[in-house]
Chains A and B, each alone.
Chain A
Amino acid sequence: MMKLPAIICRDPLRRGIALIPWLVACGVLAYAFVAGGYLVTVMSIAMIYAIFVIGLNVFMGFTGQVSFGHNAFAALSGYASAVLTATYSWDPIPAFAVGLGLALLVALAVGWPTLRLKGHYLAMATLAIGLIVYEITIEWQSVTQGYMGISGISPLRIGSYEVDSDRGKLFVLLVIVAFSAFAAGRLRASRFGRALAATAGSEDAARALGIDVARYKLVAFLVSVAYAALAGSLFVHVVEFVSPEVFGLNMVVLAFTMLYVGGIGTLGGPILGAVIVSLLPEIFRGFKDYQDLFYGSGLILLLIYAPKGLAALGDMIRSRGKA
């Protein structure tokens, strides 16, 4: 508590720079609300990714572990929601509950044996589960309709109130993102969160202080899977369509980009990363054939000049000033 006011008084420049990405992100979200149209859809998808990345950050940022297959859990829950609401006319919330339960069961089956071992066994196992679930969504045509995908999924519905306007969807998503970030913040600032941070800092030291690191890794994994499942279900209700590609390996690549651009281990990083990274292709679209080149260059520049992510921009300026 002593440190914070000192920084604010002494270094207004640093504080100002730290605020820039937030101003951009809030500005874009506000503009999307006012202007409507395509940007609302882009930002809605960005907010769904934000939820996914907030969860990934609990496991990778807070706990220092790696998972390449969180897309599998979004897919399990997303398809459960899609099939149960579109084919069996369930309500979205019970359908999500089934999807969440399914994702957690699979996560427990994968995480329980692999997280007891030292090393990157879970990372490999999650990569495998990501590919397996992807194949299932393609091949189990009687349920998933393969590459065709499932359309006609009901929009978000809370009781009898249906959210079908684009702005309404974005608003609901913003509220859920706020709750998700708030929950992650509370987790971090607790005994549980400190045990995760200790696991990330030094497993030996954590164990020497009585922390069962295998158990905490597993619980952190399940928490992050719950976020992934929520993101998966929200996706199918917001877009009202699902196909295997939605939850493919590209989802992992995009989420990793957001996590690192935004700032891994920080509280605001996942949201910043989700907004900014979702915006980049839209900005570079005008370059037509060269857009991937500019997108890639933009990412590289961000990682060179903000290696700890946009959420840690202020820290970087200070350390630069010292050096």
Chain B
Amino acid sequence: MTLLSLQGVTRRFGGLVAVDAIDLEVADGGVTAVIGPNGAGKTTLFSLISGFQTPNAGRIIFAGEDITARPPEALAAAGLVRTFQLVKLFQNLSVLENVEVGCHLHTAGGVFSALLRSPGTRRAERETEAQSREILSFVGLDAVADAEASALAYGQQRLLEIARALAARPRLLLLDEPAAGLSADESRRLTVAIRAIAERGTTVLLIEHDMKLVMNAADTVVVLDFGRKIAEGPPAMVRENPAVIAAYLGAAHA
């Protein structure tokens, strides 16, 4: 079954066509990786899917619904949650609170419930905390739960962003270069975490430059170049594709 489907999605910036009539199907379950040289349109594609930009043409269908041009908060509520290439943690909050913010969609209560703080509200708060600690231990951050988010090492900050996104219980998790800036060891652990997320039933769509991670984590690889899709298939097949080799190494090597 198809979870996410892009039909002729196009985004232009002035004369530049960043994303050019892309068709893409992401199956429900598993890990799909989008790769491509710098400037291939990967980040723009992610912004379009997650609602931070709107396409000039084309449609985006998620779980059978047309979600084209819906704002990010509406998409998150529909089950589509993203992380950012440049980590955007809530530096002013603790590690635990960052994940608790991620639980926002699955909890209730505004000003009045905060002021009254009834037994029901307290119970919900305790549940939120317990769930958040569980997610933190899933990504291996339970030991630093009470630290300030800004005090974390870079690799831990990346993991916290993923933990926070998981707390929103997405059906589709979009990871924008999750391994950027990670050490080889951290990147290996991230690969394991991404597989574990997929096995827990969350579909993962990621952009990545780290080929080792892509080859080990992804079930399907989509290759973009100059805003267009040039290849799609299982990692082993894509690796041998002449068009892909040409895009990465130049035509002479194909």
A-to-B contact residues, CB < 8 Å: 1-3, 183, 186-187, 189-195, 197-198, 200-202, 204-213, 219, 223, 265
B14 interfacial by beta-carbon distance below 8 Å: no
- 16 pairs, A vs B, C-beta closer than 8 Å: A186-B114, A186-B117, A190-B114, A191-B104, A191-B107, A191-B124, A197-B92, A201-B92, A202-B90, A207-B71, A207-B72, A207-B73, A208-B84, A209-B164, A210-B77, A211-B73
Q: In the complex, A197→B102 CA distance in Å?
A: 12
Partner of A195, one of B71, B81, B101: B101
- Are B146 and A2 touching (Cβ within 8 A)? yes
Q: In the complex, A20→B239 CA distance in Å?
A: 66
Shortest Cβ distance from residue B1 to the other chain A in the assembled complex, whole angstroms: 24
- Are B168 and A219 touching (Cβ within 8 A)? no
* Known contacts A205-B84, A205-B89; A187/B101 CB under 8 A: no
**In the complex, residue of chain A having the shortest beta-carbon distance to the beta carbon of B100:** A194
What B residues does A209 contact at CB under 8 A?
76, 81, 101-102, 104-105, 164-165, 167-168
B153 interfacial by beta-carbon distance below 8 Å: no
Q: In the complex, A208→B52 CA distance in Å?
A: 9
Shortest Cβ distance from residue A291 to the other chain B in the assembled complex, whole angstroms: 37
B110 interfacial by beta-carbon distance below 8 Å: yes
* Known contacts A208-B50, A210-B73; A219/B111 CB under 8 A: yes
16 more A-B residue pairs beyond the given contacts A187-B111, A191-B109, A191-B113, with a C-beta to C-beta distance below 8 A: A190-B113, A191-B108, A194-B93, A194-B97, A197-B101, A198-B90, A198-B101, A202-B89, A204-B88, A208-B81, A208-B82, A209-B104, A209-B168, A211-B104, A212-B73, A219-B110
Partner of A201, one of B90, B113, B117: B90
- Are B109 and A190 touching (Cβ within 8 A)? yes
**In the complex, residue of chain B having the shortest beta-carbon distance to the beta carbon of A183:** B115
What A residues does B117 contact at CB under 8 A?
186, 190
What B residues does A201 contact at CB under 8 A?
89-93
B128 interfacial by beta-carbon distance below 8 Å: yes
Q: In the complex, A190→B110 CA distance in Å?
A: 8
B199 interfacial by beta-carbon distance below 8 Å: no
- Contact string against A for B residues 216-243, beta-carbon threshold 8 Å, 1 for contact and 0 otherwise: 0000000000000000000000000000
Shortest Cβ distance from residue B168 to the other chain A in the assembled complex, whole angstroms: 5
Q: In the complex, A189→B50 CA distance in Å?
A: 29
Q: In the complex, A289→B164 CA distance in Å?
A: 57
Partner of B115, one of A186, A195, A211, A219: A186
Shortest Cβ distance from residue A28 to the other chain B in the assembled complex, whole angstroms: 29
- Are B165 and A202 touching (Cβ within 8 A)? no
Residue of B71, B110, B114 contacting most chain A CB atoms (<10 Å): B114
Q: In the complex, A193→B125 CA distance in Å?
A: 12
Shortest Cβ distance from residue A290 to the other chain B in the assembled complex, whole angstroms: 39
**In the complex, residue of chain A having the shortest beta-carbon distance to the beta carbon of B110:** A192
Shortest Cβ distance from residue A184 to the other chain B in the assembled complex, whole angstroms: 10
- Are B76 and A208 touching (Cβ within 8 A)? yes
What B residues does A223 contact at CB under 8 A?
111
**In the complex, residue of chain A having the shortest beta-carbon distance to the beta carbon of B117:** A186
- Are B90 and A197 touching (Cβ within 8 A)? yes
Interface residues of B in 167-198 (CB under 8 A from A): 167-168
**In the complex, residue of chain B having the shortest beta-carbon distance to the beta carbon of A204:** B88
What A residues does B121 contact at CB under 8 A?
190
What B residues does A195 contact at CB under 8 A?
101, 104
Shortest Cβ distance from residue A300 to the other chain B in the assembled complex, whole angstroms: 26
- Are B105 and A193 touching (Cβ within 8 A)? no
Q: In the complex, A35→B169 CA distance in Å?
A: 60
Q: In the complex, A207→B53 CA distance in Å?
A: 13
**In the complex, residue of chain B having the shortest beta-carbon distance to the beta carbon of A190:** B114
